[in-house]
A and B are shown apart, each in its own frame.
Chain A
Amino acid sequence: MIEFTIDGKKVKATEGEFILPVALREGFDIPTLCHHEALGSDGRCRICVVEVKRGSRKRIVTSCLYPVADGIEVSTNAPDVMLVRKSVLELLYARCPEAEVLGHLAKKYGVENVRYSKDHDKGKCILCNICIRACAEIVGVSALGFSGKGMSKKVTTPFDEPSDTCIACGACVVACPTGHIFMKDDKGVRTIWKKKFPLAQCPECSRFHAPVEQLQYISKVTNVPLETLMVCQDCR
């Protein structure tokens, strides 16, 4: 058992835990974007910064990747923390001015005027990697990845073309913290990542409930017959 303090409050944690989950459990408010319950930490968005005082040394760290240690003093709202967080938000906001969640956070942390020129070709994507990890680690199909680097880095399917491996499950859409990924269900067809997928129609209630390719994939992985899966969850 490890004991340390967050904003003066004594807290306990098990060895190997990171600061962020402990702080959230104890009710502290630390903003996050790239942290996900099911995927853990990735350290990409960097707005979860806190100040850690170890002995006489202070430093700013990303709380989602900093392991807890005995006797450290964590501050979630020291002036330096606020300054760094504000700068990070300013940069993220300049990249994605259309992302509502960044607008709210920028307002909350007092980002008034953005000093950088705004991008309008990045959509709402902050390159947090959540969609890619959800696709690879949770769904297990690896249809998404980054392409390029630097200014032209973006999330995409191989060769920017409709992917053969995508099953249109929409896990990336659910996981995305900013709402960048486009998905639309219309008249039995789901459009996602520039590809159209037919939706399965439940034979009982004739509702379109899931993409056929997703059901085929689930059937393959779980060995549940496809006919069972074609019936929607409500009618099963």
Chain B
Amino acid sequence: MDIDKKKLDTIIKKNGGERNRILAIYQDIQSEYRYLPKEAVQYVCGRLDIPLVKGFEVATFYKALSLKPKGKHSVCVCLGTACHLKGGPAILETFERELKVKRDDTTEDGMFSVDTVNCLGACALAPLVRVDGKDFGKTSPPTVKKIIKEFKHGA
């Protein structure tokens, strides 16, 4: 994948070019590309003079960072205690079946990536699904189909 070095330089400069800002730099890159390209990690480590393996450690440690390309829409299914009891796993299963994708992965057409989270802090709305930052509470398998439709056609 080709990366825009100028863009990365701007991001690094914005963060003061400090090594200890690597996480912030990664986050900025991720919001630019929707994931953290390998080439970007290599470039950042080179610029900050960090061993590549250290930059790789940081990139793999945080769940918020992804080295794999993410879909256009990010689906986040809550599997926290409350959502789990209210049927979160069935919601996840419906997403997996409808989108033909496994959890922590992206659909072939690059439209959706399905991830799980261990609590979004809105247990009263269990089972909760967050798509592109928008929350859908008290979901059920039929509403899942509606949600998918909404994002597929609204895109």
Chain A residues with CB under 8 Å of chain B are: 136, 142-149, 157-159, 163-165
Return the contact of B54 from the options A142, A149, A164 (Cβ within 8 A).
A142
B interface secondary structure, majority: helix
Contacts of B38 in A (CB 8 A): 159
Chain B residues with CB under 8 Å of chain A are: 38, 51-57, 60-61, 67
Q: Is B56 within 8 A of A145, CB to CB?
A: yes
Q: Is B56 within 8 A of A147, CB to CB?
A: yes
Q: Is A158 within 8 A of B53, CB to CB?
A: yes
Give A152 Cβ to nearest chain B Cβ, in Å: 9
Give A143 Cβ to nearest chain B Cβ, in Å: 6
Contacts of A147 in B (CB 8 A): 56-57, 60
Q: Is B52 within 8 A of A146, CB to CB?
A: no
Instruction: Return the chain B residue nearest A152 by Cβ.
Output: B60
Contacts of A146 in B (CB 8 A): 57, 60-61
Contacts of A142 in B (CB 8 A): 51-54
Measured CA separation A180–B55 after assembly (Å): 24
Contacts of B52 in A (CB 8 A): 142, 158, 164-165
Q: Is B61 within 8 A of A143, CB to CB?
A: no
Measured CA separation A143–B56 after assembly (Å): 11
Instruction: Return the chain B residue nearest A135 by Cβ.
Output: B53
Q: Is B61 within 8 A of A165, CB to CB?
A: no
Contacts of A157 in B (CB 8 A): 53
Among A143, A144, A145, A157, the one with the most B-chain Cβ atoms within 10 Å of its Cβ is A145
Contacts of A163 in B (CB 8 A): 53
Query: What are 12 A-B pairs at a CB distance below 8 A?
Result: A136-B51, A142-B51, A142-B54, A144-B53, A145-B54, A145-B57, A147-B56, A147-B60, A158-B52, A158-B56, A159-B56, A165-B53
